[in-house]
Amino acid sequence: MMTSLVLTVIGPDKPGLVELLSQTIADHGGNWLESGMSRLGGKFAGILIVSISSGNAEALEKALAGLHEKGLKVTAERSEEAAAAASLQPIQLDLVGHDKPGIVREIAQALAARHINVERLTTELTSGSMSGEELFRAQASLLAPSDLNLDELQQALEAIASDLMVDITLNGKA
């Protein structure tokens, strides 16, 4: 029987951290499935999912905890992958605007109030091409209840966008 481990990793950014992590996983018979990793604020941070036989999971968890001595803090959580609900509809949200505090909070509140799940969120600060001012960009993959009124969601997000002075594009996926 296979087990899924969701790992979060963080440590001072330096060469060899991914190799250290991947070698530890391989040494215990784990299979690296999906991941997202970045350098953030001088730290290397990431999240990944590993598939491993149930019999090897505990040994891998102990080995990963031991990586702390080498500068990499790893937290492992066992996961039972829930079956995808057929009653959910995927939506893509794209946002761009001048950076200011509260953008993610305002959007997240509107989504949570409508029982919309954030599956993936990517944000970044970039330099505006003309002004050179910092622009905040966000992309989110969402799962919404199938009975959600997309027009109402669009109107609610447009009101927030107006208040925050950002542009939001919402696209349902087929």
| Distance in angstroms between the alpha carbons of the first and the last residue of the chain | 34
H-helix or E-strand spanning residue 137:
strand 134-145
Length of the chain measured in residues? 174
Higher pLDDT, 46 or 130: 46
pTM > 0.85? no
Average of pLDDT values for 106-129? 93
- Say what the pLDDT of residue 93 is: 97
Average per-residue pLDDT in the chain? 92
Tell me if 79 sits within 8 A of 6, measured CB to CB: yes
Instruction: Report pLDDT digits (tens) over 32-75.
Output: 999 999 999 999 999 999 999 999 999 999 999 999 999 999 99
Higher pLDDT, 51 or 130: 51
Higher pLDDT, 133 or 102: 102
DSSP type of residue 96: E
Average of pLDDT values for 107-135? 90
Average of pLDDT values for 143-159? 93
Give the integer Cα–Cα distance in Å for 81 and 98.
37
Q: How does residue 87 score in pLDDT terms, banded at 50, 70 and 90?
A: confident
Domains contained in the chain, CATH given: 2-79 (3.30.70.260), 88-172 (3.30.70.260)
Q: Is 44 exposed, middle or buried (0-12, 13-18, 19+ CB in 10 A)?
A: buried
